[in-house]
Amino acid sequence: MDTTVRIDSERVASDRSTDRAADRSDKQRPDAEGTKLRVLLMLEIHEGSQERFLTAYESIRDQVAQVPGHLRDQLCQSIEDPTQWLITSEWAGADEFLTWVNSPEHQDMVLPLHGCVRGTRSLRYSVARETGSHGPGTAAERPSPAPGARARSRASRSGAERPAEPEVVRCALSFEVKPGSEAEVARILSGYKSPDPHVDERTSLHRTSVFMRGNVVVRAVEIAGDMRAALQHVARQPQVRAAEEALNPHLAEPRDLDDPEGARAFFMRAALAEDFHQVSATPRDGVVRAAFLYPVRPGCADAAAQVLARHDEADLNDRNGLLAASSIYVRQDLLVRVVDVRSVPDPDPATLLGVDRDAVARLGRLLDVQGDLTDDAGLRLLHAASEMTPVTDRRAATAS
């Protein structure tokens, strides 16, 4: 019995049946003298990323279930704070768990979660005593809801829509390079041959856009299908490995992608959560991609992202709007907005920057920028302070 966490039955997103564990081979069960391990992984996700988090969890849960030694797990959501989640997992023993958690396979498997999760804390306990019920009508015999069904239905009632098939999954990475190395970094990132976009019958590389502002690099990735399979496919390409190795001397903070802990730490530092993604309901012709890195005041990135998203939603719903698509990524005080815009002469600077003239005062309080955003001079200052330089935009149709 685990009484360390309050679990609301209406918030349980997934409860694996014990029958699955019973079907495992004897090698995956604790022997009579063995000690099972209970792992509690507490996660804080970014606001607005619940659907993406659940999708990422669904993409890896069955893979984790096949790991030798894994018995069962349960995904729970706090009844007090919807951004707080808990994954409890049970293992045949500590050795099996540690073998997996320290492996490169674990590193690849959990990558889809990185863009949704703000922070984690892991607790590990050996099971000393266990109490269970075996009579009729016990929880083990009652059918579990479909994975994520309750949380997803709640999101659907609030207006969220399930993604179309095949789903395009987005993530972004941001990292700093050493001042003075920007030109060489841009050359490395734009110079290698694009990998084959075809991964398997379910998955393909969709688009990768790289932007820089000063010594900050932002890489926005779009995958159609399984993010983990796509990342593994890309990592195996020799030209990609060579480019990543060439980047290493120029990074402001060292990394070692060959070391599981080092790679995990890098991706946790670099991952940006996609807080919002919206697409125009009407086709836009002649679209180009732009990105902006906003100078936000400390602690204001999430609030500024909401203001920008409301502006973009209104423009995307306008048949004559400038925007074709908008993705907004956040990590701590880093706020990046990637937009596809119609290529028109003299586009409205306020629309391009996401400035809603009805909410300009609030946005101005959230951004650290000089000038009045209600006039052209202030908008020019914001544009100069936030515009990112495109480095490369690789699409599947043009991969070579």
136: which residues sit within 8 A by CB, 6+ positions away?
A: none
- Positive/negative CA dihedral, 354, 360, 365, 368: positive
**Are both 232 and 331 inside the same structural domain?**
yes
Average pLDDT over residues 35-53: 86
**Are both 235 and 298 inside the same structural domain?**
yes
Amino acid identity for residue 314 in this structure: A
Residue 164 has pLDDT above 70, yes or no: no
**Are both 207 and 315 inside the same structural domain?**
yes
How high is the pLDDT of residue 363?
92
Amino acid identity for residue 163 in this structure: P
Residue 32 has pLDDT above 80, yes or no: no
Residue whose pair of structure tokens reads 């990135």 in the numeric block: 301
How high is the pLDDT of residue 206?
87
| Reported confidence tier of residue 308, pLDDT bands at 50, 70, 90 | very high
Task: Kindly state the helix (H) or strand (E) to which residue 380 belongs, with its residue range.
Answer: helix 376-386
For the chain, what is the domain count? 2
- Quick check: is 313 in a domain? yes
Q: How many helices (H) and strands (E) does the chain have?
A: 14, 13
Q: Which of 3-7, 182-186, 304-308, 369-373 has the lowest mean pLDDT?
A: 3-7
- Quick check: is 57 in a domain? yes
Which CATH number goes with the domain that contains 267?
3.30.70.100
Domain finish residue from 149, 184, 211: 149
363-392 pLDDT, tens digit each? 999 999 887 888 889 999 999 999 999 999
**Are both 287 and 211 inside the same structural domain?**
yes
How high is the pLDDT of residue 132?
59
Of 231, 209, 229, 211, nearest in space to 220 by CA: 209
Percentage of residues in the chain with pLDDT exceeding 90? 34
How high is the pLDDT of residue 137?
41
**Are both 113 and 193 inside the same structural domain?**
no
Query: In this predicted model, which residue has the larger pLDDT, 281 or 249?
Result: 249
Residue 5 has pLDDT above 70, yes or no: no
Residue 149 has pLDDT above 50, yes or no: no
94: which residues sit within 8 A by CB, 6+ positions away?
A: 35, 37, 124, 126
How high is the pLDDT of residue 165?
53
243-280 pLDDT, tens digit each? 999 999 999 999 888 787 777 788 778 888 788 889 99
How high is the pLDDT of residue 337?
97
Average pLDDT over residues 198-207: 86
**Are both 284 and 142 inside the same structural domain?**
no
Inter-residue long-range contacts of 149-157, CB under 8 Å, 24+ positions, other chains counted = 150/10, 150/11, 150/12, 150/13, 151/11, 151/13, 151/50, 151/54, 151/77, 152/51, 152/54, 155/50, 155/51
How many angstroms separate the CA atoms of 170 and 224, rounded?
A: 9
- Quick check: is 361 in a domain? yes
- Quick check: is 160 in a domain? no
Residue whose pair of structure tokens reads 């700093």 in the numeric block: 176
How high is the pLDDT of residue 58?
87
How many angstroms separate the CA atoms of 6 and 91, rounded?
A: 22
How many angstroms separate the CA atoms of 177 and 254, rounded?
A: 10
- Quick check: is 49 in a domain? yes
How high is the pLDDT of residue 93?
87
Strand duo 323-331 + 70-77: pairing: unpaired
Amino acid identity for residue 52 in this structure: R
**Are both 116 and 180 inside the same structural domain?**
no
Residue 3 has pLDDT above 70, yes or no: no
**Are both 206 and 79 inside the same structural domain?**
no
- Quick check: is 141 in a domain? yes
Of 265, 272, 237, 235, nearest in space to 251 by CA: 265
pTM of the model: 0.62
Residue 44 has pLDDT above 60, yes or no: yes
Residue 290 has pLDDT above 90, yes or no: yes
**Are both 193 and 242 inside the same structural domain?**
yes
How many angstroms separate the CA atoms of 330 and 151, rounded?
A: 23
**Are both 337 and 190 inside the same structural domain?**
yes
**Are both 135 and 207 inside the same structural domain?**
no
125: which residues sit within 8 A by CB, 6+ positions away?
A: 37, 38, 39, 40
Q: What average pLDDT does the structure give for the chain?
A: 79
- Quick check: is 254 in a domain? yes
Task: Find out whether 273 and 330 touch, Cβ atoms under 8 Å.
Answer: yes
Average pLDDT over residues 218-228: 85
Strand partners, 335: 294, 330
**Are both 120 and 181 inside the same structural domain?**
no
- Quick check: is 4 in a domain? no
Domain finish residue from 149, 176, 207: 149
89-130 pLDDT, tens digit each? 999 888 888 888 878 778 778 878 877 887 788 888 888 877
Name the residue range of residue 102's domain.
Answer: 9-149
Domain finish residue from 118, 149, 180: 149
